[in-house]
Structure 1
Amino acid sequence: MKKVSRKKPVNKGYRIFSIILTILLVLISFFTVFEIYSLNVLTPMLTVMVIVIFILIDAILALLLIFSAKRIVSKILFSILTIIVTVVFALGGFYMYQANSLLDDVTTVEGDIKNTVSLIVLDSSRYDELEDIDGEKVGVLKSIDAYGTEQTLDDIDTQGVNINTEEFDSIQAEVKALYNGDVEAIVLNETYRDSVTDLEDYSDFNSKTRVLYETVYYTDRVENEAKSVENITSHAFNILISGSDSRGGLAEVARSDVNMIVTVNPETGVILLTSIPRDYYVTTECDPAYGCQVGALDKLTHTGIHGVETTQATIENLLDIEINYTFRVNFTSVVGLVDALGGIDVNVAPGYAVDSFWTNPSYGVTEGVNHLNGEAALAYSRERYAYSEGDRQRVKNQQEVLMAIVKKAISPSMLVNYTSFMQALSGSFETNMSQNEISELIQNQLQNNPSWTFEQYSLDGTGSTEMCAELGNAAYVMIPDENTVQTAKEKIDTVLSGE
């Protein structure tokens, strides 16, 4: 009887699995390569090399997985290897996607500006609801934030509540009337709350009062166009870093409590940090459409109320310079960024140790190197009362915190905290620098690895009490020392020219 030869059955299950795994590897590879290309931080040659490497790896793994794996051991080995490579590629693609999303977020400034105006009563008052204030006398500001006051009064009227208003020329006079019982409540834009607590007689404003009713309205965001340089990797440029005192996000109107000009010369590798005290008494420059008082004297910090464009124009006028780009951050950004980096190190000079910061009593610093978490770094950069130099020392601390963040962010250790760092950056700041310009800077850093040298300078002045336009009354200011103003201009010009 003739024997019939039989071949071993083909493992169709493994063949299907290997094909599906190969397709998944190719798709993820394509996604990762696309994100790398979109990020545009590699040179064209390196981008081509990366694409070739991905193609070779995919081809080799496909051959091994589908055609070379004959025995059970080789099948398991090649399958595990392919899965590992697929996961690595997927993680790489996810990181690139995060970076692309971040650049898109920070360079696309959309949405309206949030304005919050409160109806404020004494904490000890008998009023619990808006209806309780019906028929009572309420203080309002005559010319300061007239639009916000109008929006609030209209809102209260639509609620069926009638009030009698009394106008005041200054915030101080309005608050004084509330404290003295001359009015039962006051209408105040939340932007001015810290301006009230800065006044010695009303430092207890937050604890002595409460918000009875809130009106929230939105205004159009003014487009802030950059004054771009021709080539950001070879031409020097100025950046304004404006630190908002808002803890509610960048979409809220707020003062500019940190004002720093960063002058960058990519050719010489020099970065100059020039800080301007928040209380600097300056002439306000802006488009009247922003609602500011053009030509009026006021604290620099108050220019932020009318947008970073107003702060930029005012500083340009003060220093007679051109600011090419703006970066706007808020206080919560510092906390998230520093924590995402795993903390930063600052070096405290002898005689500048602080047992407990006034801004946050839970933290302080000792002489020498201090490792700070986010909250500690924020307290360190905001503190002024603990130092005899006051605001002068605060701007130095702010410069040190910024340098520590930059150094940690470009260090190899950042790779360990990459995901948390990307998440912290998202929504933490906004800039009018384009995505292409940021990509070019990153590409230059990766390709040439320039060694940056940091220089610091701070403008100085003399303390005084002068009329502030945004407050409608006199307050502490710093009268500019014209010698330091001139020196700052010369230093900026020197870095820009590469001398």
Structure 2
Amino acid sequence: MKKVLLIIGLSVLTVGLAIGGYGFYIYKSMQSAVDSMHQPIDRTKSDKREVAVDIDSQEPLAFLLMGVDERGADKGRTDTIIVITVNPEEESMKMVSIPRDTYTEIVGRGTMDKINHAYAFGGPEMAINTVENFFDIPLDYFVTINMEGFKEIVDVLGGVSVESEMAFSYGGYDFDEGILELDGEAALAYSRMRYEDPRGDLGRNDRQRQIIDAIIKEGAQFSTITKADDILDSLGKNVATNLTFDEMMKIQSNYAKARHNSETLEFSGNGGGKKDGIWYLFVPEEEREHVSHELRVHLGIEDSSEVAAAEE
């Protein structure tokens, strides 16, 4: 019996060491991938936060997630713009999508234009400053995802599963209502359609969030561990962020519980129209202020009583 237990114990130890060694290899590969994604930016131009957020003290923080439709030599525009605020004390997240055609000031150019043009004009810095001005909040970190790179990431994962709320055709694909299994090309087409959707950009933003969620869920499966090298290589080529590897690790450690309590905020009004022959979405000021107050309270910048007073 002792011999049997010794053999079992040594076997478990051997497997454990092998897994641990592989885990260290993945850790180092992840660090290398994040280093290739890292794009430092100058945040001294922002007047929304006097000092940098302290993630060691678990202060609330905000992210700007941008899906960039970059094709060939085209620098691309941000077809998907999502602001995410995280409050670790409340263990909650708030997410709001800004429609790409939203009419606003492009900070740094002194012009009024579609909000998704900010990235094309001035990269992440101008996009961040423009969204900060729009919501009157600080944005601590940005993440851009090349939408063309979606298909490579999805294919590396072996495809993703989503649930479509409607049947439609786009990009040579016919999508049924219900559960869909999508490869990379199909996932990209699914995430791009907007004209057949009665909700326009808001509907497309929802489908793009579906794809992102599906990628995260598929990536979390134990079976994808063997694909880690390919996944990290694909992420390294298609994602850019000002987050460092150490900051990612600290955020994962200090803010992870917040992901279990997520609320999505939306603009409910329909303010679309033409100006000088160009179609824009004019977000009603009361709606913009309402969302701004919600985000500012969540970040601890504003007291909740100020939100109630603003809505009266």
Q: Which TM-score band (shorter chain)?
A: 0.7 to 0.9
SS at structure 2 position matched to 1:486 = helix
Q: Are 2:183 and 1:373 aligned?
A: yes
Which of the residues 364, 385, 394 maps onto 2:195? 385
User: Which amino acid letter does the alignment assign opposite residue 261 of structure 2?
Assistant: T
Q: Distance in 1 between matches of 2:96 and 2:288?
A: 10
234-243 vs 364-373, greater mean Cα deviation: 364-373
Find out whether 1:409 has 2:219 as its counterpart: yes
For the pair 1:331 / 2:139, whether they are aligned, the reply is: no
Which of 95, 100, 104 matches 1:273? 95
Quote how far apart the aligned CAs of 1:418 are. Answer: 2.1
Superimposed CA distance per residue, residues 88-121 of structure 1 (whole angstroms, 9 cap, x where no aligned partner): 6664443232111012112245xxxxxxxxxxxx
Report the Cα offset of residue 453 of structure 1.
2.2
Cα distance change on mapping 1:414 and 1:440 into 2, 3 Å: farther
Q: Deviations over 1:297-343 (max 9, x none)?
A: 11111111121211111111111111111112211232222233333
Cα distance change, pair 390–451 in 1 and its aligned pair in 2 (3 A)? closer
Aligned residue identity for 1:310: M
Residue 476 of structure 1 deviates from its aligned partner by: 1.4
Equivalent position amino acid for 1:261 in 2: V
Question: Which residue pairs with 1:118 in the alignment?
Answer: none
Counterpart in 1 of 2:261? 453
Name which of structure 1's ranges 261-270 and 424-433 shifts more when overlaid on structure 2.
Answer: 261-270
Q: TM-score, normalised by structure 1?
A: 0.51
- Describe the SS at the equivalent of 2:237: coil
> What is the match of residue 297 of structure 1?
112
Higher RCO structure (Cα 8 Å, ≥6 apart): 2
Q: Determine the C-alpha separation between the residues in 1 that align with 2:29 and 2:125.
A: 29
Indicate the residue corresponding to 2:308 in structure 1. Answer: none
Q: How does 1:136-285 map to 2 (within 5 A)?
A: 223=42, 228-231=52-55, 234-248=58-72, 253-285=75-107
Distance in 2, Cα, partners of 1:101 & 1:480: 41
TM-score by length of 2: 0.79
Give the distance between the partners of 2:155 and 2:15, measured in 1 at CA: 30
Distance 2:151 2:58 in 1: 33
Query: Within the alignment, does 1:344 sit opposite 2:186 as a pair?
Result: no
State whether residues 56 and 254 of structure 2, in contact with CA within 8 Å, keep that contact through their aligned partners in structure 1: no
CA gap of 1:407–1:488, structure 2 versus 1, over 3 A, is: farther
Report the 3-state secondary structure (helix = DSSP H, G, I; strand = E; otherwise coil) of the residue aligned with 2:282: strand
> In the aligned structure 1, how far is the partner of 2:115 from the partner of 2:275?
13
Q: 1:479 aligns with which of 282, 288, 307?
A: 282
Matched letter for residue 98 of structure 1? S
Any residues of structure 2 matched to 1:66-145 within 5 Å, and which? 91-109=22-40
Query: 2-side partners of 1:449 and 1:413: how far apart?
Result: 24
Cα contact 2:93–2:259 (8 A) shared by 1: no
Per-residue deviation, 1:399:
2.6
Change (3 A) 1:274 1:93: same
Is residue 70–residue 147 contact of structure 2 (8 Å, CA) maintained in 1?
yes
CA RMSD of aligned residues (A): 3.2
**Cα distance, 1:82 vs structure 2:** 12
Structure 2 CA distance, aligned partners of 1:241 and 1:342? Answer: 24
Check conservation: 1:273, 1:399, Cα contact below 8 A. no
Residue type of the alignment partner of 2:167: A
Q: Unmatched 5+ residue regions in structure 1? A: 1-77, 110-221, 287-292, 468-473
Q: Distance in 2 between matches of 1:450 and 1:489?
A: 20
**Contact kept? 1:98, 1:422, Cα under 8 Å:** yes
Q: Where does 1:7-22 land on structure 2 (aligned, <5 Å)?
A: none
How far does the alpha carbon of each residue in 1:27-82 deviate from its partner, in whole angstroms, 9 at most, with x for none?
Answer: xxxxxxxxxxxxxxxxxxxxxxxxxxxxxxxxxxxxxxxxxxxxxxxxxxx9xx99
Is the contact made by 2:86 and 2:258 (CA closer than 8 Å) also made in structure 1? no
- Rounded to whole Å, the distance in 2 between the matches of 1:233 and 1:482 is 34
Number of equivalences: 286
Letter in 2 for 1:417: K
C-alpha distance in 2 between matches for 1:402 and 1:232: 27
User: Secondary structure of the equivalent of 1:480?
Assistant: coil
SS in 2 for 1:346: strand
Check conservation: 1:399, 1:456, Cα contact below 8 A: no
C-alpha distance in 1, partners of 2:130/2:20? Answer: 48
Give the Å deviation of 1:387.
1.2
Structure of higher CA gyration radius: 1
1:361 — aligned with what?
A: 172
Aligned with residue 249 of structure 2, among 439, 445, 455: 439
